[in-house]
Amino acid sequence: MQHIDNFVTYLLKEKGYSSFTINAYKNDLYQFQRFLPGLPIHALNTHHIRNFLDYLFQKKYSNTTLARKLSSLRSFFRYCLKCGIINTDPLVSITCPKRRRQLPGFLRKEPLTNKLVYEEGKTTATETSLKELRDTAIIQLLYATGIRLRELVQLNIRDVKFDSGIIRVTGKGGRERIVPTGKHCLICLDNYLNFRIIHYGAPVLDEPLFWGHIHRRINPRSVQRIVARKLNAIGEGMNVHPHMLRHSFATHLMDSGADLKAVQELLGHKNLSTTQIYTHVSTEKLCAEYNQAHPRAGRNQAETRKIKNLSNRKDLPM
């Protein structure tokens, strides 16, 4: 459908969307086109949209995926309406399926910190490899900065400012932001790049920060495998992925009293409401802070655990 191609060009040139976002739109729209082959766009109506959503529901797509696909269609038809391609929007009476708001999974601070210290210590060993140094630098950087997987993959060497301890990141919509990083992460990056210089020559600043196969830019799937291999052991049954390190970064900052607006800036969130999901705090931490701060709390840790256990009992009246 020519209109889809024109819409994709609009997203790229006018909206400045990333290739990842544009590919998601294309996949959703072409799936809709395959569902209704040969039907001209001006003949589409609400009935066709509902049939498509019912088809997706039968395929057992989650409400989150259904909402995303519906959002893609909504944006496309609004574009067509604006351009005069259609006279009415077939989605005007379609409501979005409710999405259950889930708290993001994150790693506990102590085991994660211990693991990162262990991995950093391995980089100083005499017998190491570029791959080992790279993998350690990747997990250190993901947790130290909270950047997204695709932001990490797109980093070039010139984006790391060792003298000022910051990294220049290009996020969603092509928006740039400056993210500080800690000394331990910088040490791991320095070890990795020094090894690369010694064995493969001085790099060009516009080269990818992280090499993958045959010294080309690493791909997202490789990073996912690295994170899983390094951190699944401390995941407490969870499959650890790069975005979980982003969740851990934000959660640990909030637990330590960081300002919500500052965390929003670090994460590159456009809306503060997106960051507010990280304001969750564990019951144990909440009780500990209460017991420490309130003059009439008067409970020790054992009593706090006893009260917490009582609150979890199912046989007590609510």
Catalytic residue among 69, 134, 241, 269: 269
Strand partners, 211: 217
Catalytic residue among 108, 161, 177, 243: 243
At 197, list the tokens.
């210089």
At 275, list the tokens.
């960051």
Contacts of 90 (CB under 8 A, 6+ apart): 44, 45, 46, 48, 49, 77
Give the C-alpha separation, 263 to 275, whole Å: 7
Catalytic residue among 17, 25, 134, 148: 148
Catalytic residue among 17, 25, 192, 278: 278
Contacts of 113 (CB under 8 A, 6+ apart): none
Contacts of 296 (CB under 8 A, 6+ apart): none
Distances (CA, A) of 290 to 51, 109, 159, 252: 53, 21, 43, 19
Residue 60, class by beta-carbon neighbours within 10 Å (0-12 exposed, 13-18 middle, 19+ buried)?
Answer: exposed
Contacts of 180 (CB under 8 A, 6+ apart): 145, 165, 166, 167
Active site residue 247: no
Active site residue 48: no
Between CA 167 and CA 152, with CA 18 as vertex, the angle to 5 degrees is 30
Active site residue 158: no
Active site residue 213: no
Catalytic residue among 172, 184, 217, 230: 172
3 state DSSP class of 8? helix
Active site residue 221: no
Nearest to 130 by CA among 66, 236, 213: 213
Active site residue 101: no
Active site residues: 148, 172, 243, 246, 269, 278
